[in-house]
């Protein structure tokens, strides 16, 4: 699965490079900086990711409620043009991400002797059972753009990677018992992996992108929980 995703990203980038190279050859425009001199462009901006999470290779994981398994990320990105009048940009920055996994069919998460397990609560009427964790991530992506001034008024496609570190985690359980509505919130790391890394890609036009992220690290530490990887996907709103 990991090799297939990496191969797909490579094919997309090679195809897009050919497309943008043809467009650059056809256009003889010269990009100028604010000082009026030709040169590479660079800028910083904020972005918000709104999307969903799902498991890959997660045969030991419970099913998720799709609309409750939300992904949110608050991003600061910096783009730098590679050479004057070039369609190629490098994107770096800082991202604060929040992953939510809402479990279906009355499954609850437990830490039993430092091993994360899932069990079905047969005697509870569960309204919500979810795991949430936050992380800080450092992306590095190569992006091809038709707007070579980097002003977000054209088409773009990019791919790259990211590394990150988990900041915190907790579970939340809402259920009815004896005609009473109960709510339990437990702060625990649930043996989640501390460090994360993976690949990411975007396709966008003007101020809106479609993004996807694949965590190549497993969700839980080795031998401390079920084997599963996470894919996050959705919309990115660029605030420039």
- CA-CA distances (angstroms) from residue 97 to 35, 65, 126, 184? 36, 19, 27, 23
pLDDT category at 85 given cuts 50, 70, 90 is confident
pLDDT the model gives residue 33: 42
* Cβ–Cβ under 8 Å, residues 202 and 73: no
Tell me the two tokens of residue 231.
Answer: 């894919």
* Cβ–Cβ under 8 Å, residues 124 and 182: no
Mean pLDDT for the chain overall: 86
**C-alpha closest to that of 132 among 84, 187, 83, 180:** 187
Higher pLDDT, 7 or 70: 70
Measured over the CA atoms of residue 12, residue 18, residue 19 and residue 21, the dihedral's sign is positive
Give the pLDDT confidence of 196-227 residue by residue, as tens digits.
999 999 999 989 999 999 999 999 999 999 99
As a whole number of Å, the end-to-end CA separation of the chain is 36
pLDDT the model gives residue 151: 66
Look-up of token digits 């992380």: 135
What is the share, in percent, of the chain residues with pLDDT greater than 90? Answer: 70
Give the pLDDT confidence of 119-141 residue by residue, as tens digits.
998 888 899 999 999 999 999 99
Record the pTM: 0.82
Strands 70-81 and 115-120 turn out to be: unpaired
Look-up of token digits 């004057």: 84
pLDDT the model gives residue 157: 97
């Amino acid at each position: 699965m990991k090799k297939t995703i990496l191969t797909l990203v490579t094919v997309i980038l090679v195809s897009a490079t050919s497309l943008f190279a043809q467009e650059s050859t056809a256009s003889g425009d010269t990009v100028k900086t604010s000082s009026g001199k030709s040169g590479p462009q660079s800028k910083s901006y904020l972005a918000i990711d709104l999307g969903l999470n799902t498991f890959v290779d997660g045969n030991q994981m419970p099913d998720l409620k799709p609309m409750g398994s939300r992904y949110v990320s608050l991003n600061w990105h910096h783009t730098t043009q590679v050479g004057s009048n070039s369609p190629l940009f490098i994107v770096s920055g800082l991202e604060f991400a929040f992953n939510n996994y809402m479990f279906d069919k009355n499954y609850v998460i437990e830490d039993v002797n430092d091993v994360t397990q899932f069990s079905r609560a047969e005697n509870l009427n569960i309204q919500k059972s979810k795991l949430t964790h936050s992380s800080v991530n450092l992306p590095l992506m190569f992006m091809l753009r038709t707007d070579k001034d980097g002003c977000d008024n054209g088409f773009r496609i990019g791919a790259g990677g990211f590394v990150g570190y988990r900041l915190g985690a907790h579970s939340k359980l809402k259920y009815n018992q004896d005609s009473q509505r109960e709510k339990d919130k437990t702060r625990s790391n649930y043996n989640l992996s501390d460090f994360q890394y993976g690949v990411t890609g975007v396709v966008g036009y003007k101020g809106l992108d479609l993004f996807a992220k694949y965590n190549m690290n497993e969700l839980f530490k080795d031998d401390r929980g079920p084997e599963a990887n996470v894919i996050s996907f959705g919309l990115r709103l660029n605030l420039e």
